[in-house]
Amino acid sequence: MRKILILLLAILYVSCETNPPTTPTTPIVEYGSVKLISNVPNAKIFLDGNDTGKLTPDTLKTTVGNHTIELVKENYDSLILNVNVLKNTELELTANLFATNKIVLIEDFANVSCGPCVTSNKIIEHLINDNFGTSKLVAIKYPTNFPSPVDPFFLANGPDCNARMGYYNILFAPTTIVDGNLRPTSTDSNDVKNKIFSELAKVPQFIIDVSASNAGSNYTINISVDVKDITNIDFSKLVLHSVVTETNIEFATPPGSNGETKFYDVMRKMLPSNQGESLASINQVGVYNFQRQVTLNSAWIQNNINTVVFIQNKDTKEIYQAGSTF
């Protein structure tokens, strides 16, 4: 009997040596936040492809790590932002949404002997090529007759240059004008860029398509103006300007005193004249077609020829939309 009792105790002891059950470890989730502000309010906010139900401006709380945020608003191009969220940190982002199909026009007045024009020319080329692209921003460079009265580009077409300088009352070079009304400091890239941002936020009431072809020296431009919205538009004040430009013009030696040897987007000819064509006959939405023809100067390089077309209110000077062959 005693042996049996000892055996039972031993069995009970051994059974008590089994490992106790373990509790599963819960991973620690860390959070941060992203504050989103957009130049136009009420853009939908998507996080990693999911609609958050939030609209800008607002703040998202989300897990630490890399995330994709998309801002979506009707009549604007969607914008995707890649963000890295940090623990217990709020990341603030300001986003610029661009209106779909909106193209901004820069008109720049410069001279081959204007020192500051070197800087302004570089800024414009950088903004077009490296920031916005020609689908959002195009430029026309109008030569002035000051400080040098013998700027070769001015001498090539003084009447059109003078007409545009007189229209804007240009008194010095460089002068940069964005969409007819905004005048940033030409040598301040941030100022120029911010003016472009403000115009790209405007939903266009017109869409302009431009194509061109040439047979020898005969250059034909076909223009389609799609009128989308006539709200608050006085067509009797509107003109359609078509401007032939030449880019990548190179000189072996500088033609002026500022040292530049390469020039871009230089105005060669305004069509049908420097007064443009009245759009007074338009009174409803729809597509309207125009054609321009010009004989190319033998000194111009045909492969470097483009056309910029824009609609402008001749009284307020506001440019509503641009288009080009770029």
Q: What's the burial of 222, exposed, middle or buried (CB within 10 Å: 0-12/13-18/19+)?
A: middle
- Mean pLDDT (the chain, rounded): 93
Measured distance between the N- and C-terminal CA atoms of the chain, rounded to whole angstroms: 106
Contacts 24+ apart (CB under 8 A), 69-74: 69/34, 69/36, 69/45, 69/93, 70/45, 70/46, 71/36, 71/38, 71/43, 71/44, 71/45, 71/46, 71/95, 71/97, 72/43, 72/44, 72/46, 73/38, 73/40, 73/42, 73/43, 73/44, 73/97
Cβ count near 200 (within 10 Å)? 22
**Interval 78-111: pLDDT, tens:** 999 999 999 999 999 999 999 999 999 999 999 9
How much is the average pLDDT of 158-176? 98
**For residue 188, which phi and psi values (nearest 5 degrees)?**
-110, 100
Name the nearest CA neighbour of 245 among 224, 270, 228.
270
Q: What is the pLDDT of residue 158?
A: 97
pTM, full prediction: 0.89
What pairing do the DSSP bridges indicate for beta strands 104-110 and 137-143?
Answer: parallel
Distance CA 267, CA 307 (A): 9
**Residue 313: both structure tokens together:** 């209110």
Name the nearest CA neighbour of 175 among 134, 116, 125, 129.
116
Instruction: Sketch out the chain's domains with CATH numbers.
Output: 31-95 (2.60.40.1120), 104-324 (no CATH)
Confidence of residue 26 (pLDDT cuts 50, 70, 90): confident
Confidence of residue 286 (pLDDT cuts 50, 70, 90): very high
How much is the average pLDDT of 289-305? 95
Q: What's the burial of 147, exposed, middle or buried (CB within 10 Å: 0-12/13-18/19+)?
A: middle
Which range is least confidently modeled, 8-17, 278-287, 300-309? 8-17
Confidence of residue 20 (pLDDT cuts 50, 70, 90): low
Q: What is the pLDDT of residue 8?
A: 41
Position 5 pLDDT exceeds 70: no
Distance CA 93, CA 88 (A): 16
